[in-house]
Amino acid sequence: MRDSTNPSFISISHLSKEYPNDRKVIGDLTFAATAGEFVSVLGASGCGKSTLLKMIAGLSPVSSGSIQIDGMNPTNAREIMSFVFQDPTLLPWRTVAGNVELALEFEGLSKALRRTRIESVLKLVGLREVSSYYPRQLSGGMKMRVSIARALATTPRLLLMDEPFGALDEMTRNRLNEELLALKDAQGWTTLFVTHSISEAVFLSDRIVLMSANPGKVHEEIAVPLPARRTAELRSEPAFLSLVGKVSCALAAIPS
Amino acid sequence: MSLASLRLPFLVFCVFVLLWQVIVTFFKVPDYLVPSPLQIAALIPARIGDLTSAFIITGGEALGGFLSSAIVGVAVGMFFSVSAIIRRCLYPYVVLLQTIPIIAISPLILLWLGNGSLSVLCISFLISLPAVIVNATQGLISVEINLLNLFRMGNATVPVILFKLRLPHALPHIFVGLKIAAGASVVGALVGETFAGTSALGAGGLGYSSIYALSQLDTPYLFALILTSSLLGLLFFFAVVILERRMVGKWHESILGDRLE
């Protein structure tokens, strides 16, 4: 977290995204996040959340405005960020270890170095026993863990997550939420997390950004003043529940 | 497919052969129309030399046609997957190649390449090629968008995407094409020989020998040739199936699904 003094690790100003058919997905979006912050993005389907994430990753070109990540443009910042997609996006012909290795191959690491990194990241996410399994032999939650392991293998400073747990059952999702926070505490990356689940957003985030649609922009930001150390018990505490209520009221109040 | 599951089909085969023998003997069907299984079985050891050399000639031509269609087909698919413009310009011609009866243009091939194995190989190649191109292209371009995004996030170059993502992803599709090509290449070689076969090398290939046996009304030998040709076709097909199991068996549903049954 060497950038914790820098007030804005990510800074987005007056960002717009228009498709050739004149459809404006994002219009004049301004937003900033500090290093080490966990920010969730909530909003109706089609409000441009995923597009925003793809633009930050440099996967979708910017129409106007600017995106800066630690002073770099998105394409240059790829070195310091990892993307976790909606589905696990694993290569079915590679084993768990092989899938994690892919990210390290992109970095051009030597074979020996790759092996030690794989070993340590699989241990971190609790996948060491299945390192030689193929993706089809794993459950949905396990596959997502592999996807996260692959993202963390390159020790990113920014993690972009696009509804990574959306397809999982609630129990698995909750457990992965807890694991994700524990990993974040240990490694301290900045996270932008797109989700549809209000309780997930409240549980994970330091701050929640609500987006309105047509065109997508920041409608409201809600701070989550919950303790930094969060465990499963938090979900039944009044402070947590009232925040979930507050966020869902704010979401419902967004004119569509 | 296990050996046990072949037991019933094998029984059907035995009954069929038995019925054939009984009918031919009982109705006194003349040899030149339908020889009996026993007659064919007796003939095979006597002419095993001829059959083997014909098998080798046709097998070589079909193998040449198959391998060249596999290499060219996958290479063309790779070009198509790298450039959408190349694909849009040329793909319709692949479809056209599939619809042109190759037999209709085989006289041209004869004209350009002359009689002999090279022409036969060329006909076998042309018949096998479209299936490989079409299936390889389909597999190479149908990569999920987020997998491509993953590679783009890693700043992967076009060759890296091609060899680490598109090609392995396309393997199951490529094998569909190769299985079709395996059968087609044998058919192509057999048919090609009836046009362009030569007797220069011993007795000629299986296709050429069939035409010759027909002209001599040597029907029992014709049947032996048909059996040998079928054996060649089976051999090609199963060679591809074994290769497929080795290359995608560990991870692809199409193969693993079989095993669960």
DSSP for B165-233, please give it.
IIHHHHHHHHHHHHHHHHHHHHHHHHHHHHHH--SSSTT--HHHHHHHHHHTT-HHHHHHHHHHHHHHH
Contact state of B144 with A89 under an 8 Å Cβ cutoff:
yes
Residue-number span of the structural domain to which A118 is assigned:
10-252
pLDDT at B203: 54
Nearest to A78 among B153, B248, B250 (CB): B153
pLDDT at A206: 95
User: How far is the C-alpha of B198 from the C-alpha of A230, rounded, in Å?
Assistant: 82
Task: For chain B, give the mean pLDDT.
Answer: 90
DSSP state of B17: H
**CB B194 within 8 Å of CB B210:** yes
Q: For residue A93, which residues of chain B lie inside 8 Å, CB to CB?
A: 168-169, 171, 248, 250-252
At A127, is the secondary structure helix, strand, or coil?
A: coil
At A188, is the secondary structure helix, strand, or coil?
A: coil
Closest residue in A to B147 (Cα) is A89
Q: How many CB atoms lie within 10 A of CB A209?
A: 24
Q: For residue B153, which residues of chain A lie inside 8 Å, CB to CB?
A: 57, 59, 78, 81-83, 106
At CB < 8 A and 24+ separation, what contacts does B32-38 make?
B32/B217, B32/B219, B33/B219, B34/B219, B35/B219, B35/B220, B35/B223
At CB < 8 A and 24+ separation, what contacts does A103-112 make?
A103/A150, A103/A151, A103/A153, A103/A154, A103/B154, A104/A153, A104/A154, A105/B154, A105/B164, A106/A154, A106/B151, A106/B153, A106/B154, A106/B155, A106/B156, A107/A154, A107/B154
Contact state of B153 with A54 under an 8 Å Cβ cutoff:
no
User: How far is the C-alpha of B122 from the C-alpha of B66, rounded, in Å?
Assistant: 10
> Closest approach of chain A CAs to the CA of B248, in angstroms?
8
Q: Nearest 5°: phi and psi at B158?
A: -55, -45
User: How far is the C-alpha of A106 from the C-alpha of B249, rounded, in Å?
Assistant: 27
Q: For residue B255, which residues of chain A lie inside 8 Å, CB to CB?
A: none
User: How far is the C-alpha of A164 from the C-alpha of A148, rounded, in Å?
Assistant: 9
A→B interface, C-beta within 8 Å: 54, 57, 59, 78, 81-83, 85-87, 89, 91-93, 102-103, 105-107, 134-136
Q: Could you read off the pLDDT of A133-163 as tens digits, one per residue?
A: 999 999 999 999 999 999 999 999 999 999 9
Q: Nearest 5°: phi and psi at B170?
A: -85, -10
DSSP state of A18: E
Contact state of A93 with B155 under an 8 Å Cβ cutoff:
no
Q: Is residue A3 part of a domain?
A: no
Per-residue pLDDT tens, chain B, 261 aa: give them: 567 788 899 999 999 999 999 999 999 999 889 999 999 999 999 999 999 999 999 999 999 999 999 999 999 999 999 999 999 999 999 888 888 888 888 889 989 998 888 999 999 999 999 999 999 999 999 999 999 999 999 999 999 999 999 999 999 999 999 999 999 999 999 999 988 766 555 558 999 999 889 989 999 999 999 999 999 999 999 999 999 999 988 888 766 554 443
The length of chain B in residues reads 261
DSSP state of B154: T
Nearest to A83 among B153, B164, B248 (CB): B153
Class for the domain spanning B53-260: mainly alpha
Contact state of A85 with B149 under an 8 Å Cβ cutoff:
yes
Contact state of B154 with A106 under an 8 Å Cβ cutoff:
yes
Q: For residue A82, which residues of chain B lie inside 8 Å, CB to CB?
A: 153
Contact state of B168 with A93 under an 8 Å Cβ cutoff:
yes
User: How far is the C-alpha of A30 from the C-alpha of A224, rounded, in Å?
Assistant: 20
Q: For residue A81, which residues of chain B lie inside 8 Å, CB to CB?
A: 153
pLDDT at A12: 94
**CB A85 within 8 Å of CB B150:** yes
> Closest approach of chain B CAs to the CA of A103, in angstroms?
7
Nearest to A136 among B164, B169, B253 (CB): B253
Q: Please report, for chain B, the start and end positions of each structural domain, with discontinuous segments joined by +.
A: 53-260
Task: Using alpha carbons only, give the angle B25, B28, B31 rounded to the nearest 5 degrees.
Answer: 90
Nearest to A103 among B149, B154, B248 (CB): B154
Closest among A238, A239, A244 to A222, alpha carbons compared: A244
Domain holding A242: CATH number? 3.40.50.300
Contact state of A82 with B171 under an 8 Å Cβ cutoff:
no
Q: For residue A102, which residues of chain B lie inside 8 Å, CB to CB?
A: 150, 154, 164
> Closest approach of chain A CAs to the CA of B172, in angstroms?
11
Nearest to A85 among B146, B155, B251 (CB): B146
Contact state of A106 with B144 under an 8 Å Cβ cutoff:
no
pLDDT at B2: 66
Contacts of B242 by beta carbon, 8 Å cutoff, 6+ apart: none
Nearest to B252 among A78, A83, A92 (CB): A92
Mean pLDDT by 10 residues, chain A (256 residues): 62 91 88 94 90 94 93 92 94 96 95 94 91 93 94 94 92 92 90 95 96 90 90 92 95 86
> Closest approach of chain A CAs to the CA of B249, in angstroms?
10
User: How far is the C-alpha of A36 from the C-alpha of A7, rounded, in Å?
Assistant: 11
User: How far is the C-alpha of B123 from the C-alpha of B65, rounded, in Å?
Assistant: 8
Contacts of B4 by beta carbon, 8 Å cutoff, 6+ apart: none
Q: For residue A57, which residues of chain B lie inside 8 Å, CB to CB?
A: 149, 153
Count of domains observed in chain A: 1
Q: For residue A78, which residues of chain B lie inside 8 Å, CB to CB?
A: 153-155
Q: For residue A135, which residues of chain B lie inside 8 Å, CB to CB?
A: 251
A250: its two tokens: 């704010």
pLDDT at B260: 43
Contact state of B152 with A59 under an 8 Å Cβ cutoff:
yes
**CB A91 within 8 Å of CB A128:** no
